Structure 1
């Protein structure tokens, strides 16, 4: 059953797609990479190396076999320090095979969006991610999985609406 699979296994099981909608202005502010970047914003050692960022190796693995991975980020302007950090790291994600787009929050007021960030795998499984107010993963349970058709449809429709309006990473420059 999907609920028993690890997050990495969900990606490896994906056949066609994995899409991610991010809607927060900050995440994991305790991340040592972020702390280091804040001290020297143009330098985060080894962040382009899949050996030091297992996420990049995973993205290369699954996109090479044809799974489309798309990430859309909704954010406030001016952009928070944490999202500037993510923007700084995103070229490595793109090089690993992810497609990433950015959409200012003021451009989503007329869209119906779920209340939490999510991953949607093969248009059939939604994994909602739960964070605390300061952006850390929730100790009460950081994810919730569902295959409920109405929820899958909401997430799919929401993601596609954001994706259509969003600016590709290669074009977007932080304000």
Structure 2
């Protein structure tokens, strides 16, 4: 089922226990982020005011005992998008989101091969998977949800396999 932006925003705030998020692309072109990334690329300061709403939501989740985990699979050296993304991650980590990084080559090391769904995803409370689809230029196309237990299990298994190889944000030094 297609998930609207409004429905997705509600999912980000209304889950009961945990949300996991897997990112697999080296570049995104979200309409919200592009202007701020352009400022960063031009060497302009960004006070990250635009990120404060998400950070407030994260603090509310932590205060209520909910967890938010994100793992980013990245190619090294990092794309400009991922370098920018790394540069703005600390406020989200400080607010309570556990963000981790996995160099892509780790996913195919002998004995550690990880199979992944074809799209980025969120899983909310082990009950709902939301797949995020993108155009080739990184712009968001649509979000599609599934409550099928097989889909949810596949996402959770993939996330767990990647998480085992992930480096906490504080310990990851971009190349």
Q: Is TM (by shorter chain) over 0.5?
A: yes
Q: By how many angstroms is 1:9 displaced?
A: 1.5
Structure richer in strand, relative to its length: 2
Q: Which runs of 4+ in 1 moved over 6 A?
A: none
Cα separation, 1, equivalents of 2:51 and 2:22: 24
TM-score when scaled to structure 1?
Answer: 0.89
- How far apart in 2 are the matches of 1:128 and 1:122? 15
- Name the CA shift for 1:54/1:102 in 2 (closer, same or farther; >3 Å): same
- Report the RMSD for the aligned CA atoms in angstroms: 2.0
The equivalent of 1:76 in structure 2 is 75
Cα separation, 1, equivalents of 2:93 and 2:151: 28
2:101 match: secondary structure:
strand
Q: Does 1:39 align with 2:38?
A: no
Unaligned runs of 5+ in 1: none
Unaligned ranges ≥5, structure 2: none
Paired residue total: 168
- Counterpart position of 1:9: 10
Distance 1:15 1:29 in 2: 27
Deviation string for 1:13-70 (max 9, x for gaps)?
2111000000000011661000110011xx54221x4x65322122122222111000
- 1:11 touches 1:62 (CA, 8 Å); kept in 2? no
Secondary structure in 2 matching 1:27: coil
After TM superposition, list the pairs within 5 Å mapping 1:10-159 onto structure 2.
Answer: 10-28=11-29, 31-40=34-43, 44-47=45-48, 49=49, 53-109=52-108, 110-138=113-141, 142-159=142-159
How far 1:11 sits from its partner (Å)? 2.5
